[in-house]
Structure 1
Amino acid sequence: MTERTGERLAVAVDAFLAHARHGRGLSEQTVRAYANDLEQLVAFATARGVDRLSDLGLELLRDWLWDADHRGLARSTIARRSSSVRAFTRWASESGWIASDPGVRLRAPKGASHLPRVVSSDQVRTMLDGLAARAATDDPGALRDLAVVELLYAAGIRVSELVGIDVRDLDRGRLTVRVLGKGGKERVVPFGVPARDALEAWLDRGRPALLASAQAGDGHAPGDGRAASAGEAGAGRAAGDGHAAGGGARNAAPAADALFLGDRGGRLGVRGAYRIVARLLQDLPGEGPSGPHTFRHTAATHLLDGGADLRAVQELLGHASLGTTQIYTHVSSARLREVYRTAHPRA
């Protein structure tokens, strides 16, 4: 391929983003992160008189990261910027836009290592018991919330995978659900009897009530009274609402096909799921995020604590790399050390 060394840097960035979105099929969240970082790079380079891709050198890239550090940006942000620009320059080199890759020697500080938040098994049990008590009244919103949390914890799925599930993806007989993960990869994930019972109650009594209410046009679930959350879209859910991690095409399916519905009868969106979980976790002790991913972290940690094989947990979570799954062994080790310190007389 002929080198395009005279191209403007901004043009090359646009071409890279198009390749990331359509050529590699990356999730919208990943593409947006690339776009934000590279727009910052273009602005930084332009302010220093660098407008052409061919003039983009290692020193300028290092200055860009140094500037971010000088302005107090988090190490994780700087590490992400480094990753974004290295992906861009590698693509530009391999695609023939430039003769050599200026980012190949770029290094940035590793992001700060934070163990994910994990909820104890007793806390999970208390939380689910409280949800079950609410659901016993047959309130549609409570039936849905119980089914959402049971499935998040039982299957360890991402929130984007959860909101992309259609009714036909659920196999209640085999206790499995088909989800669409990162990069459009499908996998079948098992869940347990308590999750099945919660899902059956939702499908039999909660979901029809919400759907009928929406079709009647009164805008909220009978007896629910809550305003729909900001993330709960209608039948044609806004693009990106459920693509935070999975980027699944099934998220564009009609709301009538969706397993989980929002308070107005449309497909439950990512932000709606976040609200459901955040209400439950806000009063629990512990630091860290209070979103649906907490249940994914918790499920993985509890599986490993219970003796599950690391590769089996990797398959369940849909991790491409075993290294990603291994963070949960660190969580378990951290908990073991804490137990040791508090329980052993000579700790």
Structure 2
Amino acid sequence: MSRTDDPEEDPIAYFLQDIAYQGKSERTQAAYERVLRDFARFLDDEGDNYATAVATLAAATHRDCMAYIHSLRGTVAESTVATYASYLHRFYGYMTQVGTFDSNPMALVVEEIDESIDTDPQRREISLMEMRSFLDRLTHPLDRAIVVTLLKTGIRAGELCNLDQRDLNLTDDPRNGVTVRPQLEGRPDSLYVSATPTRGSQTNGEHRRASNKRQRDTVIPVDSELRNVLTRWLAVRPDSISNANPLFTGTADNWGRRITTDMVHHTVTSHASDAGWYHDGAGAADNVTPHYFRHFFTTHLRDRTGDRGIVKYLRGDVAQDIIDTYTHDWGSRVRDVYEQHIYQLL
């Protein structure tokens, strides 16, 4: 991606540079650039004069934006149209805030288009039996560990990538010389998900490439199924080249390096594609991506427990007073409810 310190020279590059500083992943940056560059080309009547197209970004009207949105319909899924609209809306909103553009033409468009920018779209329904069959086909220890961890904990891909060995406490721990966090002492078979790591920052002595979007630190139970999967993974896990000692390390070209969100996304979508659950051009309503497993976890556990508070606690979405209550009541509330109701997958 190109870079610039002059927003008028290349407003798209300037915006992408800023969202990188804000901690957006490389995949997110690439998605924004793809849409914004496509819109810039759309604004150019000739379709091949990029310099002219950049110059017209600031002059685009709400009708230009509506015409672009209309041109997308029939070529991509409706949910993807809404996503592209949200990208343009954020771009123009930000460039208006920093004073490069005079107004945000997408503000009116978002009100007028039929799609709402839905952060929690209706998603494909997958039964427990179908999910079990899906997992049966995952034989690689790393792939299996990634997917089962996402399904059993509801954590995000970035949060999974940021896990270090110290964040996992196991009964009959097979690891030698691993000191777990103080927060896990007295809490066997549990996983600590910190709210601290942000993309570009140093955490546990290592530069991080993903952000944890969790509001609060959370301790998540590890049930017997996940414990067994992680134990098998740890038996073959490549030694890490990082002193931070990541929990998940690569087994291919990135041997011994911390896995990335791109790797997690590729792992999930490759297997989902084989199962008919992922298609290029389809939207969140149809495709199974790493975030789908967070939706699966939330929906199934909430329906089984009837306790939205505990599910929000496990997701890291709740206020400090609720966190304090559930953390204090770990033994008799969170752990017991989780182990009683968590679905069996293997």
Preserved contact between residue 177 and residue 188 of structure 1 (Cα < 8 Å):
yes
Residue 257 of structure 1: aligned partner: 245
RMSD of the alignment, in Å?
4.0
Return the alpha-carbon distance in structure 2 between the equivalents of residues 103 and 280 of structure 1: 34
Amino acid at match of 1:178: V
For residue 312 of structure 1, report the CA deviation from its aligned partner. 3.4
For residue 131 of structure 1, report the CA deviation from its aligned partner. 8.8
For residue 146 of structure 1, report the CA deviation from its aligned partner. 5.0
Decide whether aligned partners of structure 1 residues 16 and 290 sit closer, same or farther in structure 2, where only a CA change above 3 A counts: closer
Preserved contact between residue 152 and residue 292 of structure 1 (Cα < 8 Å):
yes
For residue 73 of structure 1, report the CA deviation from its aligned partner. 3.2
SS in structure 1 at match of 2:71: helix
Amino acid at match of 2:67: D
Matched ranges for 1:22-41 at <5 A: 22=21, 24-41=22-39
For residue 301 of structure 1, report the CA deviation from its aligned partner. 2.0
For residue 293 of structure 1, report the CA deviation from its aligned partner. 4.1
Return the alpha-carbon distance in structure 1 between the equivalents of residues 318 and 231 of structure 2: 32
Residue 10 of structure 2: aligned partner: 11
> Is structure 2 residue 227 aligned with structure 1 residue 196?
yes
Decide whether aligned partners of structure 1 residues 27 and 66 sit closer, same or farther in structure 2, where only a CA change above 3 A counts: same
Find 2:297's aligned residue among 299, 303, 307. Answer: 299
SS in structure 2 at match of 1:105: helix
> Is structure 2 residue 126 aligned with structure 1 residue 118?
yes
Residue 271 of structure 1: aligned partner: 263
Return the alpha-carbon distance in structure 2 between the equivalents of residues 72 and 277 of structure 1: 21
Amino acid at match of 1:109: D
SS in structure 2 at match of 1:104: helix
Return the alpha-carbon distance in structure 1 between the equivalents of residues 302 and 85 of structure 2: 33
Preserved contact between residue 298 and residue 311 of structure 2 (Cα < 8 Å):
yes
Residue 191 of structure 2: aligned partner: 176
Residue 96 of structure 1: aligned partner: 99
Return the alpha-carbon distance in structure 2 between the equivalents of residues 190 and 311 of structure 1: 14
Residue 165 of structure 2: aligned partner: 167
Return the alpha-carbon distance in structure 2 between the equivalents of residues 66 and 30 of structure 1: 23
Find 2:236's aligned residue among 206, 211, 225. Answer: 206
Preserved contact between residue 155 and residue 315 of structure 2 (Cα < 8 Å):
yes
Decide whether aligned partners of structure 1 residues 77 and 189 sit closer, same or farther in structure 2, where only a CA change above 3 A counts: same
Find 2:81's aligned residue among 78, 82, 86. Answer: 78
Q: Which has the larger radius of gyration?
A: 1
For residue 39 of structure 1, report the CA deviation from its aligned partner. 0.6
Unaligned runs of 5+ in 2: 1-5, 47-51, 171-183, 199-209, 279-284, 320-346
Bigger shift: residues 280-289 or 152-161: 280-289
Q: Percent identity?
A: 24
For residue 78 of structure 1, report the CA deviation from its aligned partner. 2.1
Return the alpha-carbon distance in structure 1 between the equivalents of residues 130 and 137 of structure 2: 12
SS in structure 2 at match of 1:266: coil
Preserved contact between residue 265 and residue 290 of structure 2 (Cα < 8 Å):
yes
Preserved contact between residue 134 and residue 275 of structure 2 (Cα < 8 Å):
no
Unaligned runs of 5+ in 1: 1-5, 135-140, 212-234, 236-252, 322-347
Return the alpha-carbon distance in structure 1 between the equivalents of residues 275 and 7 of structure 2: 54
Find 1:57's aligned residue among 58, 61, 79. Answer: 61
For residue 279 of structure 1, report the CA deviation from its aligned partner. 5.0
Preserved contact between residue 218 and residue 316 of structure 2 (Cα < 8 Å):
no
Alignment size in residue pairs: 260
Amino acid at match of 2:222: G
User: Which has the larger helix fraction?
Assistant: 1
SS in structure 1 at match of 2:106: coil
SS in structure 2 at match of 1:306: helix
Decide whether aligned partners of structure 1 residues 301 and 53 sit closer, same or farther in structure 2, where only a CA change above 3 A counts: closer
